[in-house]
Amino acid sequence: MASKSSLISKQRFLLKLITTFCFLQFLRCVYCSEFEVGERRGWVVPPANDTQMHNEWASKMRFKVGDTIRFKYKKDSVMEVNQKDYKECNSTRPNFFSNTGNTIYSLDRSGFFYFISGATGHCEKGQRMIVWVMAQDASHRTSHASNNAFFSYGLLVIIFAFQFIYLH
Ligand SMILES: *[C@@H]1O[C@H](CO)[C@@H](O)[C@H](O)[C@H]1NC(C)=O
Ligand SMILES: *[C@@H]1O[C@H](CO)[C@@H](O)[C@H](O)[C@H]1NC(C)=O
């Protein structure tokens, strides 16, 4: 009987740990932003006199790890490909593919991401985009500081959770 109740308390303990972990994950993203591609026009084939439209937009933005990009489109698709396939508009082996019309892509690392349209001929007409994600470096000290504050707060929550578990 004792072993059964200790099993239940272990399960409870695990549940609380998972809850705490999820809460921390939530805090981690308090400073994340979502960017919508193409502003009002969305993820579309650019007009003939503005073929660099998506890259111009992307170069004005400051993306950081954890941010997300939203692609809105109709009868089209979005792919994340390697640099070579980006240059050649080759859509045969994307790392990521979506055609739901409303795609949220998570920038989970620093460095370059290459996006192209998977619809025939669209990439060649300029529906492609390079995104550069900054590494969190010294120039982002302020956001670092507040992240750290949140992490210390998270640590307090964990300590509190542990005490709560041991007292029950
Ligand atoms: C492209 O053409 C449209 C209409 O002809 C015009 O309003 C727009 O300013 C032009 N864009 C560029 C970047 O030249
Ligand atoms: C795309 O890339 C694949 C793999 O490298 C290659 O076999 C194929 O010929 C390429 N397609 C085009 C249209 O370049």
Is the pTM of the predicted complex or chain greater than 0.85? no
pLDDT digits (tens, 9 = 90+) for 83-103: 999 999 999 999 999 999 999
Which atom of ligand 1 lies nearest, measured to the CA of 49?
Answer: 1
Q: Please tell me the distance between residue 94's alpha carbon and the centre of ligand 2 in angstroms.
A: 12
Q: Is 56 in the pocket of ligand 1 (CB under 6 A)?
A: no
Structural contact between residues 106 and 98, judged by C-beta atoms closer than 8 angstroms = no
Please tell me whether residue 96 adopts helix, strand or coil conformation: strand
Q: Which range scores top for mean pLDDT: 82-91, 137-146, 151-160?
A: 82-91
CATH class of segment(s) 31-136: mainly beta
**What residue spans define the domains of the chain?**
31-136
d(CA 11, CA 143): 37
Structural contact between residues 117 and 42, judged by C-beta atoms closer than 8 angstroms = no
Determine which residue's CA is closest to atom 1 belonging to ligand 2.
Answer: 90
Cβ-based neighbour number of residue 128 at 10 Å: 23
Q: Please tell me the distance between residue 41's alpha carbon and the centre of ligand 1 in angstroms.
A: 14
